[in-house]
Amino acid sequence: MQTIVIATHNAHKLEELRAILGDAATGFEFVPTDGPDPVEDGVTFAENALIKARAAVAHSGLPALADDSGLAVDALGGAPGIYSKRFAGTGVDADNTAKLLDELAGLPDPADRRAQFLCAAAFVAPDGTEAVEVAVWPGVILPEPVGDGGFGYDPVFRPDGLDRGLAELTPAEKNAVSHRAMAFRRIMPAVAAWSAGTA
């Protein structure tokens, strides 16, 4: 069993990751980091994911996985982007969503409200091996929040191909198709290849 540190202090994220990966997680034990949070001063999701993974490796001496994700709105030039969690300056999900809707208030046409959730998943090993995968989940920003599930911008995002908002999906439905799910599924072959090479 290969131990992989997940660069989070959130136990829920570990459970979500196991659910997302399913059989791809076989042979790996995921544990949360017990180290300090690094300063995320990258300018892309990929850079910030690597910063977190490298910090977890430096602290633990074990291989690590990390991710960084957020929302990019076309009409806002890609904002809030890497600043998604602090878009409104308060760190409160409802405030971020309210600010987003306010900035898009003059754009009622869904064609003008295109957006993407992005997630970068990074793998870093103690021997210097590094890999990053970025996933994009396109959709539109709804005119008002719908549903009572999810978190962050989920209540105002409707993924392409679905007739429901993201906060109206069950956790299992979201985990099957989300940007985070796509990114971590794409990174696992690199993790497995590294693990096989060190066995």
CB 121, CB 187: distance < 8 Å: yes
CB 71, CB 116: distance < 8 Å: yes
Residue 39 and residue 66: Cα distance in Å, rounded? Answer: 14
Q: Which residues are known catalytic residues?
A: 68
CB 117, CB 85: distance < 8 Å: no
The count of other CB atoms within 10 Å of the CB of residue 144 is: 9
Euclidean distance between the first and final Cα of the chain, in Å? 10
Residue 38 and residue 48: Cα distance in Å, rounded? Answer: 9
CB 158, CB 142: distance < 8 Å: yes
